[in-house]
Amino acid sequence: MNKNLKIFDEIERLLKIKLGNKVEVVEENDSKYLQIEGSEFWMSNDFNELVVGFGINHTHFSEDYDNLNLGIIRTFDLLTNEIIITEYKKGETIFKVTTEIKFPSAKTENIGTVSFLVFPFWKKTKRITSHYQKLIEKSDIETEVIILLNSDL
């Protein structure tokens, strides 16, 4: 079992303890996918990568990139902080989506922007911002995250 899958399994186990039946996991074609009911959060383990996302934005983490600990941190930042998604529309076409984590200090971190090339550029731009509340209190999970970050999986 590779390290990516071990981390995925540990996060899955921890989330099932904290969130119970809200955690949905599907295995298909040697890949595992996890999502949380009522949330835009998701993660997957495929092609020897841990992929962590919120809505359309996502980031790949793996041993090859030497950033698995960053994947663990990103996962728990997405779960324990408010998330802001801003959609930019021209007419009825969404042409850009930005996802940010809002930390308790009011500092925000842009974790991704997705843009589409084909859109009606001549139409007026509308901006729609959605706020997603944290799914878990940081204090409820902090100890387990520190143990996971320091473990030798």
Cβ proximity of 7 and 61 under 8 Å: no
Evaluate if residue 1 carries a pLDDT over 80: no
Q: What percent of the chain has pLDDT over 70?
A: 99
- Quote the pLDDT of residue 2: 87
Report the b/e string of 48-85 with b at 16+ CB within 10 A. Answer: ebbbbbbbebbbbbbeeeebbeebbebbbbbbbbebbb
Yes or no: say if 99 and 52 are a contact pair by the CB < 8 Å rule. Answer: no
- Please tell me the pTM assigned to this model: 0.93
Instruction: Tell me how far apart the alpha carbons of residues 97 and 12 are, in angstroms, rounded to a whole number.
Output: 27
Helix (H) or strand (E) segment spanning residue 127: strand 125-132
Residue-range domain boundaries for the chain: 3-150
pLDDT for 110: 98
